[in-house]
Amino acid sequence: MKTAKYLLIVISFFLFACSKGGDSSTPTPTPTPTPTPTPTEAAVAFSVTQDPGSGNILGVVGTSQAINVKVSSALPSAGVTVAVTVTKDVDNSSVFTNSISSVAADNSLTITGLTPGVLCTATVVVTSKSTLTNTKTSSFKLAAK
């Protein structure tokens, strides 16, 4: 009987001593590579040479007005889209809409279709072609005499 007890102790000792200790079938995780940072694009900035300023109205002689949109920020490599929309203040109906693609800093457009005595709002939107969230908007009032 004494031998059986010793045998039971020795067998249990061998069973515990021979355990795996951990799951060796799971490979060690490989670290996620750090993504290469993408260069950020300069925020779009521009001015409209005919903008009369806040609270002022641009007086237009005739039914058309040439404007120049000058991009003052660094131009994105893919260029920009310059969109001009003119709406009547009375009923918000569209008078003029034009959109051009450009890789130049100076962009000339001619607003047409103005009616004498009708107050309008011109909205100019410049958007980067490579980063669509990089956009800037400017508005001004104009009226044909």
Does any domain span residue 76? yes
Query: Half-sphere exposure of 57 toward its Cβ, with a 13 Å CA cutoff?
Result: 13
Q: In the prediction, which pLDDT does 110 show?
A: 97
| Sheet of 106-111, strands arranged across | 46-48, 65-71, 106-111
Q: In the prediction, which pLDDT does 31 show?
A: 79
Does any domain span residue 27? no
Q: In the prediction, which pLDDT does 86 show?
A: 98
DSSP string, the chain: -HHHHHHHHHHHHHHHHT---S-TTSPPPPPPPPPPPPPPPPPP-EEETT---TT-EEEESSS-EEEEEEE-SPPPTT-EEEEEEEEETTT--EEEEEEEEESSSEEEEEE----BT-EEEEEEEEEESS-TT-EEEEEEEEEE-
Does any domain span residue 109? yes
Q: In the prediction, which pLDDT does 37 show?
A: 66
The total of structural domains in the chain comes to 1
Domain range spanning residue 77? 46-144
Q: pTM of the entire structure?
A: 0.72
Q: What is the pLDDT along the chain (145 residues), one digit of tens a residue?
A: 666 666 566 666 666 665 555 555 666 777 788 777 666 889 999 999 988 888 899 999 999 999 999 999 999 989 999 999 999 999 999 999 999 999 999 999 999 999 999 999 999 999 999 999 999 999 999 999 8
Q: What is the CATH number of the domain that holds 136?
A: 2.60.40.2550
